[in-house]
Amino acid sequence: MSGYIEKSGYIENMRANEYTNTYKNLIYSVLICLLSVFNIQETVASDGGETEKFNIGEMINHHIKDSHVWEITHGVVIHLPIILYSAPDGLVVFSSENFFNEGHQEVPYMGYVLEHEHISRQDGVSVLDFSITKNVLFIFIDAFIMLFVFLAVAKGYRKNIGKAPKGIQSLFEPIIIFIRDEVVKPSIGEKYQRYLPYLLTLFFFIWFGNLIGLVPGAANMTGNIAVTCVLAIATFFITNLSGKKTYWSHIFNTPGVPWWLRPIILPVEIIGVLTKPVSLMVRLFVSITAGHIVVLSLISLTFIFHSWMVGFGSTVIVTLITIIELLVATIQAYVFTMFTSLYIGMAVEEHH
């Protein structure tokens, strides 16, 4: 299989993709560091006639981080349910609205305190938090959209047996076939069908999540490292639990390596096994979050310079970047699925 991958150009594409992502993430990181160093602030008028400082970092963090409140737009807020368990109270359910007073300041409720989106008890007793946060809500929305779309696609297949696809089936069938024939099959080989449901689910979950995150007022779901971590852990377990004798022998008894060098090679191989899911997790998290930060930073220029010309210019640039982000949303879903397929393919490869 290794020879097949080399001939098909997969390794070259992987390296080119890595270089592109590295340079792009470097540019994003420099921009983020500059914003952090200068901590750009601007004085703006508040409702009471007094002045308050416009802080770019605070505004960006407010939009990209998870929250117990879904703010669709200014003044339009949906308070999400708080679900807590503690030994003294047992299971407690209430609205996050109770944590805020009329001035939108955080206040204690029933002995619980919300500080920086972290809930704790005032008496120090440990709390299990099962609350529906903004990211959790959008995970459910993503899953609902997937169910709606692919139940409709399945219905179309049943209706159009032996006929050309129609409607929503005709839209998603080429994408499904592309992932199957151009990504999964070449990477895994003959046993691809066993892993195809997971890989298709992985691709569309990430893709839909990336696209939803570009909608104004939506959550930065795939830009949350906890979400990408769970996806990477799932890939890690599926890959290593599927590993054949050849896969593990290359790790613990690397062929062609002198015996005295194997104690050095073994830790390197084990680190390689562990860093594969980490690279998947960080790549998706950084790419999506960096894109949001760039867009929000450009929007902030309007409030800094108080100029309609700057506002018009930033709007044009943000529109162009958003179009690029649509492409990035698709590429990142493809890259995550492709590398997962390659890792599984290396694990299930039989000895030649």
CA nearest to 55, candidates 74, 35, 76: 35
Q: Residue 45: how many CA atoms within 13 Å on its side-chain side?
A: 4
Maximum pairwise Cα distance, the chain: 77
Cβ atoms 21, 283 nearer than 8 A: yes
Residue 70's identity, in one-letter code, is W
**Residue 1: its pLDDT value, please?**
42
Phi, psi dihedral angles at 118 (to 5 degrees)? -115, 125
Taking each helix axis from N to C end, the angle separating 262-305 and 308-348, rounded to the nearest 10 degrees, works out to 160
For the CA atoms of 242, 19, 323, 140, what is the dihedral angle to 10 degrees? 30
**Residue 40: its pLDDT value, please?**
40
**Residue 54: its pLDDT value, please?**
65
Per-residue tokens: 26: 């470097």
**Residue 16: its pLDDT value, please?**
47
Per-residue tokens: 64: 């990209």
Q: Which residue has the tokens 């990209």?
A: 64
Cβ atoms 251, 239 nearer than 8 A: no
Cβ atoms 139, 221 nearer than 8 A: yes
Q: Which helix (H) or strand (E) holds 72?
A: strand 69-73
Cβ atoms 278, 231 nearer than 8 A: no
Per-residue tokens: 59: 């505004």
Cβ atoms 17, 32 nearer than 8 A: no
Q: Residue 156: how many CA atoms within 13 Å on its side-chain side?
A: 16
Does this model's pTM top 0.85? no
Residue 6's identity, in one-letter code, is E
**Residue 88: its pLDDT value, please?**
87
CA nearest to 28, candidates 323, 290, 299: 290
Each of the 352 residues of the chain gets a pLDDT tens digit; together they read: 444 344 444 444 544 454 445 445 544 444 444 444 334 444 444 444 444 566 777 778 878 888 888 888 777 888 999 999 998 889 999 998 888 887 677 888 888 998 888 898 988 889 999 999 999 999 999 999 999 999 999 988 888 787 788 888 889 999 999 999 999 999 998 889 999 999 999 999 999 999 999 988 888 889 999 999 999 999 999 999 998 888 888 888 877 778 888 888 888 889 999 999 999 999 999 999 998 899 888 888 888 888 788 888 888 999 999 999 999 999 999 999 999 999 999 998 876 5
Cβ atoms 100, 67 nearer than 8 A: no
Rounded to whole angstroms, how far apart are CA atoms 39 and 57?
A: 7
CA angle (312, 315, 318) in 5-degree steps: 155
**Residue 212: its pLDDT value, please?**
93
Please count the other Cβ atoms lying within 10 Å of the Cβ belonging to residue 188. 26
Dump the DSSP string for 290-333.
Answer: HHHHHHHHHHHHHHHHT-HHHHHHHHHHHHHHHHHHHHHHHHHH
Rounded to whole angstroms, how far apart are CA atoms 181 and 198?
A: 15
